[in-house]
Structure 1
Amino acid sequence: MPDILAQVLAMPGLGWLIAAALVAGLVRGFSGFGTAMIYLPVAAQVLPPLWAIVTLVVMDIFGPVPNLPRAFRDAHRRDLVLLIGGAFCLLPVGLSVLSLAAPELYRYGLSTVSLVLVACLALGLRYHGVLYPPLVAGIGAFAGFLGGLIGVPGPPVILFYMASTLPVQVVRANVLLFLFFFDFLLLGLVALRGDLSGFPVVLGLLLALPNIAGNVIGAMVFNPARTGLYRAMAYAIVAVSAIAGLPAWD
């Protein structure tokens, strides 16, 4: 462990990863989403795709912990179970496809998905139908596939589930809790595949500290009356991170 920690502390780009973890936690704290779409485009520039995802998962397990009690009080439990169950079905498929993808292709896919989501949300494109239970499970399944493929399970849940008629604090709580439990699913499957190594785990533990700090600050400033402002800020930060992460800038 000391040898791995020394390697982590000496790695190039560590400062950028710490900054990305802090900003990602801040945005998630006041919006309930955004961690992966902000952190991964930065991490993918200095780490292999799977390592970037593992550091995110390890970091993200701890980051939302201060906000879990409030989220459990506000959550809609049935929808949360459907989302997680659906994700479990297609997450292994996404991980299998990821193992075949080149790093540059991964980065283009990650940035593209993030930018498409921001564009859809900013333009007000929403699903306007009724969110019946099978559809909620299907949203979770698509999220699981994307989570395994590029480490970003949030877009389908955000794009479709934010059309729900549930109160904003309930939607925010369900998105936060879904992403939290998804991290355990992904980490467990990576371990079962034999792809879990010490370096990204230790790096993820280190990055958990600034991520937790960002989550706490973000939750402190969250005010349901200013939801529009928080969303606009989250969209802008995600878009900047996605554009900066494109391989074309290398």
Structure 2
Amino acid sequence: MDLLAGYGGAAIVAALVAAFVSAFVRGLTGFGMAILLVPILALALLPMEAVLLTNFLSVFIGMSEIRRLLRSAEKSAWIIIALVAVSTPVGLYILSITAPALARVVIAFIALSAFAAVLLPRRGALDHHPATTGGVGVLSGLMTGYAGMPGPPVVPYYVGRDIPRETAKASMLLIFTCASTTGLVSGAAMGVLDWTLAVLAILLFPAILVGNWLGNKASGRIEDRTWRICVGAVLGGAAVAALWKAFG
């Protein structure tokens, strides 16, 4: 497959800009890269390729800051990661047999529910039932395989609780890095992973690296309330875009 065959010059620039912007949002909020990047990449690539390419980029940027993530993440992240590893292959299989129109509707409503959950009053730091943690892990895995987007279930779980921002961000990003790794392993096992996608990921990675660095710098300069507003705005925009694509 010629990865660049579907891209003209303008499309390549658009992919680079999308990579930069999505990575900036990731650095700022702790999530959002896949939610913003997959739809743009899917304009020139097959949905499966867009999902797996985004997984490559997520693994690359996650490994560049893995020490900080391991140091700051909450223990609950490891429970979610274990469940993500089990359920991601199921989501990838469902994607392979689902009509695109139906998939867009499902993703739209999941994004909308995540936005609504973030608007709810913050809960206590320890206020999370084991069943809730388990449900987040399973749903995040299904979304990783189905849409390359582990974030919609995970973001409300951490952002909606009264815990330090750095703990919330590190926990989410550690989950996303491991989820993307699971997505790539699942794709390879199913025979749907074209390893030349890694080449395109390498080409886009400098834009990801710079955008993420700038987002992290900006995150350290804003108040917690402003940060939470940014999180809600990104989720809300993603939900509106997903609904428009599903029903437009």
Q: TM-score range by the shorter chain?
A: 0.7 to 0.9
Q: What's the CA shift for 1:197?
A: 1.1
The alignment yields a C-alpha RMSD, in angstroms, of 2.8
Distance 1:146 1:248 in 2: 16
Structure 2 length-normalised TM: 0.85
* Structure-2 residue corresponding to 1:68: 66
How many residue pairs get aligned? The number is 246
For 1:124, the aligned partner's letter is L
Identify unmatched segments of 5+ residues in structure 2.
none
The one of 203, 206, 209 aligned to 2:206? 209
* Structure-1 residue corresponding to 2:137: 140
The question of 1:104 aligning with 2:101 is answered yes
Distance 1:137 1:61 in 2: 23
* Structure-1 residue corresponding to 2:54: 56
Structure 1 length-normalised TM: 0.84
The question of 1:162 aligning with 2:159 is answered yes
- 1:10-89 aligned at under 5 Å gives the runs 10=8, 13-76=11-74, 78-89=75-86
Distance 1:125 1:200, change over 3 A: farther
Distance 1:194 1:146, change over 3 A: same
Identity of aligned residues (%): 27
* Structure-1 residue corresponding to 2:150: 153
Distance 1:45 1:110 in 2: 17
* Structure-2 residue corresponding to 1:124: 120
For 2:111, the aligned partner's letter is S
* Structure-2 residue corresponding to 1:176: 173
Distance 1:58 1:34, change over 3 A: same
Q: Is the Cα contact below 8 Å between 2:6 and 2:45 reproduced in 1?
A: no
* Structure-1 residue corresponding to 2:192: 195
Distance 1:233 1:203, change over 3 A: same
Distance 1:42 1:108 in 2: 17
Q: What's the CA shift for 1:206?
A: 1.9
Q: Is the Cα contact below 8 Å between 2:115 and 2:239 reproduced in 1?
A: no
- Structure 1 window deviating more from structure 2 (3-12 vs 87-96): it is 3-12
Q: What's the CA shift for 1:159?
A: 1.5
Q: Is the Cα contact below 8 Å between 1:67 and 1:219 reproduced in 2?
A: no
